[in-house]
Structure 1
Amino acid sequence: MKKVVLGTIAAAMLATSSFAADYVMKISHVVSDNTPKGMAANFLEKRIEELTGGKIDVQVFPNSQLYGDADEMKALAMNNVQLIMPSLSKFPSIVPQIQLFDLPFLFRDKEHLYKVMDGEVGAKLKSFVDAKKQMKAFDYWDAGFKHFSSSKQAIINPDDAKGQKFRIQSSKVLEEQIKAIGGSPQILPFSEVYSALQQGVVDATENPLSNLWTKKFHEVQSSLTLSNHGYLGYLVVMNQKFWDKLPKDLQEKVSQAMKEATEFERKATEEDDAKIMTELKKYADESKRLEIYELTPEQVANWRKVMEEVYPKFYNVIGEDLIKKAIETK
């Protein structure tokens, strides 16, 4: 009886809360709550509700509870959800220029990356997304830099990649990246990567530390090179019609909350990477099954020289001016 009463009270409170809100914003994402992206989504929920005094009721649905990776973009366009943060790899079909983020060794370091994202180049790319009319682009969130790992031969110099089979995401840029170093690109779903590495279907892969660690790829790879050669990130986008319906004062509050959430997410990713690196080094020391390599400045320069040959192949797709502006960003 007590459970029924408590359930009734909870339902009434929820109904009152929803009734009090002028707008309901559903946020859908495909990762768990304890990832940097998941934590930032929860942070965003809290801050929007605080700043708007509850006028916007934000509801977060993690772990593909509403929509999976393949469906969330369509759900946003139909306004079935109001905010998502897909990986940048989901955008090339509508904005080919966003493949700029796939170009290898384009970013000198994280400071350079953020200046590109938050500056003229990042704004231009977001304007291409906005032009599609169905969505409004906000900020870029982090998954981190990618690193090479292998079970065949440590990838320290470009020549080390020759003959190795690399698992990659579906991306013309990434295909050309692997071909440039003599490797064989193999497109595989992320869910199949562990077994493919374990069985020798592929020899090597590229991942940010979070993917490498959480999916236990380090257990089926003998070497990890901290190459920072590529980038994996997200773009936070909102349904345009929902945004347009918000009064200007609420738009300003949402924008403020978004800015704070972006800072939170990027910091959380950096902290997560540091923790994972500590665990990976511990694993390497104890298991003796994994070697971790860091590139010297000279080795990085050599990699960049080889990989820059990929850029001209995408001048017509991404834009020569955009690539050069990214490189020259200070």
Structure 2
Amino acid sequence: MQKKSCVAVILALVFSLGLALSAHAEPIVVKFSHVVAENTPKGKMANKFRDLVAEQMGDKVVVEVYPNSQLFNDNAVLEALLLGDVQLAAPALSKFQKYTDVLQLYDLPFLFKDMEAVECFQQGPFGKKMLKSMMDKGVLGLGYLHNGLKQLSANSPLRVPADAAGKKFRIMTSDVLAAQFEAVDAIPLKKPFSEVFTLLQTKAIDGQENTWSNIYSKKFYEVQPYITESNHGLLDYLVVTSAEFWNGLPEDVAAGLESALAEALEYGNAESFALSEEQKQMIIDSGRTEIIELTPEERALWVEAMKPVWDEFAPAIGQDNIDAAVACNK
């Protein structure tokens, strides 16, 4: 009887050990939700990250990428992140308004001269400090991803600010972007990215602002007869995670994910400029829309009309942050 009891104990221990090993072998699943197509800079970066993690971390971590708002749009994904329904997201910088004021800097019109200035600021001390600006809300920034500078599209030509008066423009959820369009007497409407094509197609709105790659990949150019090459604002993304999730990872896993993400972001940012130029040319070649190039005098009118928005939001953003951004315009 005693012998049987010992055997039973040993079998129980072996069974428990097997369960523990089995549980340990379960991979950590990282769901990465985003709203754009896979052929955009963000889509390519997310897939690159997934592949790098598979190559470098084996069975420890599995990254699942959900593009095109398959799981959540950008207005819902941050709440989903904090609830643990997804582990990574890359919303546009405009989407963080209710979590921090400082990231509103990136929506200020005509703040950055070009993408080199953007890179200068983001990789400098002020830009890096912003990554942790939402820690008190449980959101941790892991890195910036470029999409590029925004253009204006509309049902009628936009050459001077007066041309925008009275027209309805879709914007992201951002008070700065609302103020930007109100500065030229236009009507800003906060709508999800996934609805923009239909809103344009049905003429429920008159226009929108976006980068060349988004205008091309979402076929906005097919339902917008005019695109003004304004380069008036920035559309970049912030890859974020839940601080609780990230801090709960084993150190080696967190380090591996951080390394893979840094490589994926470098790849995505390198792709961004080339893709933007390539898809701009594809839009031109399609013949579906007219590209309007502003003269220096016309551009100056837009700058003059929109620049007061800087002063309006400086108290919330911090004048020191704005000054640091301006200093990057070499």
TM-score tier (shorter): 0.7 to 0.9
Q: Computing the radius of gyration over CA atoms, which structure comes out larger, 1 or 2? A: 2
**Residues 307/63 of structure 1: CA separation in 2 closer, same or farther (3 Å cut):** closer
Q: What residue number does 1:327 align with?
A: 326
- Number of matched residues? 309
Aligned pair partner of 1:148 in 152, 163, 167: 152
Structure 2 letter corresponding to 1:84: A
- Is 1:138–2:142 an aligned residue pair? yes
Partners of 1:21 and 1:57 within 8 A in 2:
no
Secondary structure, in 3 states, of the residue corresponding to 1:44?
Answer: helix
Superposed displacement of residue 32, structure 1:
3.8
Work out the CA distance in 2 between the residues paired with 1:192 and 1:79: 26
Aligned 1:265-284 pairs, distance under 5 A? 265-284=268-287
Superposed displacement of residue 148, structure 1:
1.0
Residues 193-213 of structure 1 show CA distances to partners (whole Å, capped at 9, x for unaligned) of 444444544333212123322
TM-score calculated relative to the size of structure 1: 0.82
Aligned 1:20-31 pairs, distance under 5 A? 20=25, 23-31=28-36
Work out the CA distance in 1 between the residues paired with 2:254 and 2:316: 33
Secondary structure, in 3 states, of the residue corresponding to 1:57?
Answer: strand
Q: What residue number does 2:53 align with?
A: 48
Q: What residue number does 2:210 align with?
A: 207
Work out the CA distance in 2 between the residues paired with 1:85 and 1:292: 29
Partners of 2:35 and 2:194 within 8 A in 1:
no
Superposed displacement of residue 67, structure 1:
3.8
Aligned pair partner of 2:98 in 66, 88, 93: 93
- Is 1:37–2:36 an aligned residue pair? no
Partners of 2:37 and 2:218 within 8 A in 1:
no
Superposed displacement of residue 93, structure 1:
0.7
Q: What residue number does 2:125 align with?
A: 120
Structure 1 letter corresponding to 2:324: K
Q: What residue number does 1:11 align with?
A: none
Aligned 1:215-294 pairs, distance under 5 A? 215-284=218-287, 290-294=289-293
Secondary structure, in 3 states, of the residue corresponding to 2:80?
Answer: helix
Work out the CA distance in 1 between the residues paired with 2:250 and 2:172: 40
Secondary structure, in 3 states, of the residue corresponding to 2:91?
Answer: coil
Aligned pair partner of 1:171 in 156, 169, 174: 174
Work out the CA distance in 2 between the residues paired with 1:205 and 1:25: 33
Superposed displacement of residue 104, structure 1:
0.6
Superposed displacement of residue 298, structure 1:
4.7
Work out the CA distance in 2 between the residues paired with 1:258 and 1:89: 21
**Residues 204/244 of structure 1: CA separation in 2 closer, same or farther (3 Å cut):** closer
Work out the CA distance in 1 between the residues paired with 2:67 and 2:189: 30
Work out the CA distance in 2 between the residues paired with 1:237 and 1:246: 15
Residues 95-119 of structure 1 show CA distances to partners (whole Å, capped at 9, x for unaligned) of 1221111111111001001111222
Work out the CA distance in 2 between the residues paired with 1:17 and 1:147: 52
Structure 1 unaligned segments of length 5 or more: list them: 1-15
Partners of 1:84 and 1:236 within 8 A in 2:
yes
Structure 1 letter corresponding to 2:28: Y
Superposed displacement of residue 175, structure 1:
1.8
State the Cα RMSD in Å.
2.7
Work out the CA distance in 2 between the residues paired with 1:147 and 1:239: 32
**Residues 236/308 of structure 1: CA separation in 2 closer, same or farther (3 Å cut):** same
TM-score calculated relative to the size of structure 2: 0.82
Structure 2 unaligned segments of length 5 or more: list them: 1-20
Work out the CA distance in 2 between the residues paired with 1:216 and 1:66: 22
Work out the CA distance in 2 between the residues paired with 1:211 and 1:321: 31
Aligned 1:181-192 pairs, distance under 5 A? 181-192=184-195
Partners of 1:149 and 1:204 within 8 A in 2:
yes
Partners of 1:18 and 1:57 within 8 A in 2:
no
